[in-house]
Amino acid sequence: MLVVVALWVSGGGVQDLAQTGTALTSIGRLTGLVASDLLLIQVLLMARIPLVERTYGQDELARRHRWVGFSSFNLMLVHIVAITLGYAVTSSSGLWGTIVDFVVNYPGMLLAVAGTVVVVGVTITSIRAARRRLRYESWHLLHLYAYLGLGLALPHQLWAGKEFLTSAVATVFWWTLWAAAAACVLIWRVGQPLWRSLRHQLVVEEVRAENDAVTTVVMRGRMLHRLPVRAGQFFQWRFLDGPGSTRAHPYSLSAAPDGRTLRITAAHLGDGSARLASLRPGTRALFEGPYGRLHEGVRTRRKVLLMASGIGITPMRALLEELDQRPGDVTMVYRAGSEKGRILVDELSALAGRRRARLFVVTGRRASERPSWLPQHYAHIGDVEALRQFVPDVAHHDVFICGSPGWMDAAERAVIDAGVPPEHVHIERFAY
């Protein structure tokens, strides 16, 4: 961003502010350049660059991607309005004449208009109210058109942008940025997943019903000991079982990777997750990942508290299995809505027994009076007090949390209020 602003200053951007017409075009240029820069940053945030993924985690990156996206969009609107008005002030053709002149006579502008329409569409469908009305798959497909919008907008920057045409430094900077963004997407979103899927040749080995709404799938593959994955992480999965298999779904590993198999456990929420139950042994699986920051590598303390609710138990089950621990180091609190909804409990008990970890399964309806990580029948006890009853020295723990969004917020609040510094709280959200 600093480089972009510096290039604008060195191109006479500040001096141009002295007169109305040139001031408008100058502001238009600056906002256009910053908008492009943010657009590329937006792409980079989602390019699955390993260092960036490890640092922020995908849920946080998605949040920032959204914020950067809306900022870029707003600046793009200012860019269009300011440039058009700036040219109109100094031209004899008036506002409409200038607009027509722009679109028809300036190189790359027709493509840029088409790109703008695409970006407007993508942005509107990303506004929360609109997004809620769309199926996730439809929204995601529309969202991918942002790449098209970006591609269509590029030529006008190259062919009509003052910076590009007058400054060699700016030209090199922008080309490098565009090329780096494209390379990152091709390497980490396309190349690496394809390479890993081909290398490890995952096939479904076993499909097991945990109950009538949750399925576990075990996959076998080649050279899985070479895959740099840890318990607590997740992959984007595509099972090649017929139409619709091109859509990827994220699922965490529900067992520690053992170098021969990978295992997931999924609740049937919609079409994608429900069809896991009908997978047949031998079905090929493609995958992207591993992703996620919920693993041993982020741990900073000996003692660990694993807090899970609902299907959020999957990465916690894997962590309980893999974490390096002495007897008593690890405590797991598993919150379930009902006896029927509890899953993997036998495995959890066996693991806790074997690893000398403490396991608490807290079952019951959600509290109605206040947002709480506890069930209704604990309503008389405060969230922090109850936590301290389960784990008296909770303040000295690293805490890993995964579950439904509202529950996670309540759990995180209780943990922090109980004295755990925020940097020792590690979270994975199952919804962005």
Note whether 309 binds ligand FAD by CB under 6 A. Answer: no
Determine the residue type at 198.
L
Q: Which is nearer to ligand FAD, 34 or 255 (CB)?
A: 255
Q: Which of 102, 287, 334, 430 binds ligand FAD (CB under 6 A)?
A: 430
Residue with tokens 């947002």: 371
Residues between 128 and 157 with contacts to ligand FAD, criterion CB under 6 A: 135-136
Q: Which is nearer to ligand FAD, 240 or 269 (CB)?
A: 269
Q: Which of 71, 171, 201, 273 binds ligand FAD (CB under 6 A)?
A: 273
Radius of gyration of the chain (CA): 26
Helix 20-45 to helix 136-160 angle, to the nearest 10 degrees?
130
d(CA 360, CA 337): 14
Determine the residue type at 20.
T
Q: Which is nearer to ligand FAD, 11 or 403 (CB)?
A: 403
Instruction: Give the three-state DSSP class for 170.
Output: helix
Binding mask 91-130 for ligand FAD (x = CB under 6 A): ----------------------------------------
How would DSSP label each residue in 219-288? EE-SSGGGS---TT-EEEEEE-SSTTTTS-EEEEBSS---SSEEEEEEE--SHHHHGGGG--TT-EEEEE
Q: Which of 249, 263, 317, 426 binds ligand FAD (CB under 6 A)?
A: 249
Q: Which is nearer to ligand FAD, 86 or 290 (CB)?
A: 290
Nearest approach in angstroms of CB 228 to ligand FAD is 17
d(CA 362, CA 351): 18
Nearest approach in angstroms of CB 431 to ligand FAD is 4
Per rule CB under 6 A, count of chain residues that contact ligand FAD: 22
Note whether 248 binds ligand FAD by CB under 6 A. Answer: yes
Q: Which is nearer to ligand FAD, 2 or 431 (CB)?
A: 431
d(CA 101, CA 137): 40
Cβ–Cβ < 8 Å for 156, 109? yes
> Which chain residues interact with ligand FAD by CB under 6 A?
135-136, 234, 248-252, 264-267, 269-273, 311, 314, 428, 430-431
